[in-house]
Chain A
Amino acid sequence: MVVTMPDRPSRAPKGASSSNVEEARLRQQAIGVKLRQMFDQVVSEPVPDEFLDILRRHDKKASDGQD
């Protein structure tokens, strides 16, 4: 997977700071990769049973209650 950032167009003056801009872009890209890793770590955890239990219980209650 190629990491792309929705970057703003570079507004830096030509020449002098273009390597700084590139450096900042790399850093932002790295932060983006880690952010996704952090999020995906939780996504890939097994879902605790309570989540499905709670839906099942609730479902049953609703159909018993005839509302």
Chain B
Amino acid sequence: MIRRAELNPKTEADFKRDLVALIPHLRAFARTLCGDAAAADDLAQDAVLKAWDARASFQTGTNMKAWTFMILRNQFYSEKRRSWRQSQLDQDAAERTLVAADDPEAPVALDELRLALAMLPSEQREALILVGAGGFAYEEAAEICGCAVGTVKSRVSRARRALQGVLERGAYDRDGRPAGEAMRTILADAERLSGQR
């Protein structure tokens, strides 16, 4: 399907510049899929190369960010399919990373949020990340995930409810702090953050 059309050098340079500008976003998305930072960077690098190789098939004028996110997501799931055992290991690594992310400097509420996110089914997590953090419209997220817009909407809303439930109940294995503490911290933090803007 990939047309090996020659791009003129200017278009190619533009494409490269745009692709490089997207790398930080691809890394962030990969981090939410993999959990483990090193595995996430491997995934993001593979996606960058794949996008570069497929540059001739990119339709100029369409959303390049969504296009590269779709490539990264496909890469992630095809690797997972290739080796179930590996993905199991990734899962374990992700959980270790999440639990081990006890940087005393890091705001507590972010740790709690990462833990709570890790408990969501992956399709809910990715939908929420794309729409809630990646800045994609429902339609774009649907294209990235290869599903219907309505499906994305319902995944996002289920993810939001589940996340809130987990944070309020404190239904994760941590340090035995009172339930609801995480939600209070998040509320206070969010208030502080929005006050800064």
Evaluate whether A31 and B167 lie within 8 angstroms (CB atoms) in the complex, with A37-B110, A43-B25, A51-B23 already known. Answer: yes
Contact of B113 among A38, A40, A50 (CB under 8 A): A38
Q: Please judge, given known A-B contacts A34-B186, A39-B134, whether A28 and B160 are in contact too, CB under 8 Å.
A: yes
CA distance A64 to B20 in the complex (A): 22
Residue of A nearest to B183 (CB): A27
A8-B157, A31-B164, A33-B193 known; A39-B24 Cβ under 8 A: no
The answer on a CB contact under 8 Å between B27 and A30 is no
A1-21 residues with Cβ-Cβ distance < 8 A to B are 1, 3, 6, 8
- Check A48/B132 contact, CB under 8 A, given A33-B194, A35-B113, A42-B28: no
Chain B residues contacting A39 (CB-CB under 8 Å) are 28, 32, 129, 133-134
Residue of B nearest to A50 (CB): B45
A44 within 8 A of B: yes
Q: A28-B160, A45-B27 are in contact. Are A55 and B48 (CB under 8 A)?
A: yes
Are A36 and B133 CB-contacts (below 8 A) given A3-B194, A55-B48, A55-B49?
Answer: yes
- Contact indicator per residue, chain B 11-27, by CB within 8 Å of chain A (1) or not (0): 00000100110011101
Q: Does B187 contact A (CB under 8 A)?
A: yes
* Mask: chain B, 31-47; 1 = CB below 8 Å from A; 0 = not: 11000000001001100
Chain B residues with CB under 8 A of A27 = 164, 168, 183, 186-187
Min CB distance A26 to B, Å, is 7
Contacting residue for A58 out of B24, B49, B164, B186, CB 8 A: B49
CB within 8 A of A52: which of B20, B113, B187, B191? Answer: B20
Does A42 lie within 8 Å of B45, measured CB to CB?
no
Determine how close the nearest CB of chain A comes to the CB of B72; give it in whole angstroms: 13
Contacts of B48 in A (CB 8 A): 51, 54-55
Residues of B within 8 A of A (CB): 16, 19-20, 23-25, 27-28, 31-32, 41, 44-45, 48-49, 52, 109-110, 113-114, 128-129, 132-134, 138, 157, 160, 163-164, 167-168, 183, 186-187, 189-191, 193-194, 197
Between A and B, 15 residue pairs with Cβ closer than 8 Å are A6-B138, A27-B164, A30-B183, A30-B189, A31-B113, A31-B164, A34-B113, A35-B132, A38-B110, A39-B28, A41-B110, A54-B49, A55-B16, A55-B49, A58-B52
